[in-house]
């Protein structure tokens, strides 16, 4: 009887972690370009507003919300367009390298957070001697229903 109620609690905890994980993924997706734009600014990309009709037309020709590489006058530049705000982020190789470093660090932090959550879930499912409250078949109640 007690094992059933603890199994229910474990199941409910797993559901709570799963729902919490899905909610955090949705939050990250909603951030979308906002998080990217913060990283681009922090990396040193310059923000250029599309104030004139010519700049607005040029901005419309860019792929929105995607970092792109262009070659202009034997120089490589990187652009990121946000047509909703009518701005263009522009940076060179130095800014791009800083952005890449931040992106790698962010991905590593996300992976570490996911790993910690999975380890916490796994730890809550295992007792001192194995899975289950009494350590599965190895502790508490022995084989054949005998209590050790």
Give the residue extent of every domain in the chain. Answer: 1-31, 32-118
Percent share of the chain, pLDDT over 90: 45
First to last CA, the chain: 18
Contact 124, 72 (CB under 8 A): no
Six-digit token pair at 116? 């910690």
Chain mean pLDDT for the chain? 76
Contacts of 87 (CB under 8 A, 6+ apart): 47, 48, 49, 50, 81
- 99-110, pLDDT tens digit by residue? 999 999 999 988
- 123-132, pLDDT tens digit by residue? 666 655 555 5
Q: What is the pLDDT of residue 45?
A: 97
Q: What is the pLDDT of residue 28?
A: 38
User: Of 20-29, 79-88, 126-135, which gets the smallest average pLDDT?
Assistant: 20-29
Closest CA to 138 of 42, 38, 3, 130: 130
Q: What is the pLDDT of residue 117?
A: 79
Which spans in the chain are helix H? 2-31, 33-43, 53-60, 93-125
Query: How far is residue 117's CA from residue 110's CA, in Å, rounded to a whole number?
Result: 11
Q: What is the pLDDT of residue 47?
A: 95
Contact 90, 41 (CB under 8 A): no
Count CB neighbours of 18 within 10 A. Answer: 12
Q: What is the pLDDT of residue 35?
A: 87
């Amino acid at each position: 009887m007690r094992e059933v109620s603890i199994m229910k609690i474990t199941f409910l905890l797993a559901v709570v972690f799963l729902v919490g994980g899905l909610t955090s993924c949705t939050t990250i997706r909603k951030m979308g370009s906002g998080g990217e734009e913060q990283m681009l600014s922090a990396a040193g990309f310059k923000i250029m507003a599309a104030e004139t009709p010519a700049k607005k037309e040029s901005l419309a020709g860019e792929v929105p919300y995607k970092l792109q590489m262009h070659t202009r006058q034997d120089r490589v530049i990187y652009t990121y367009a946000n047509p909703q705000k009518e701005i263009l982020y522009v940076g060179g190789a130095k800014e791009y390298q800083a952005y890449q470093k931040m992106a790698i660090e962010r991905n590593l932090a996300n992976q570490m957070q996911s790993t910690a959550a999975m380890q916490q879930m796994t730890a809550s499912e295992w007792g001192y001697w194995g899975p289950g409250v009494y350590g599965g078949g190895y502790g508490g109640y022995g084989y054949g229903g005998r209590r050790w």
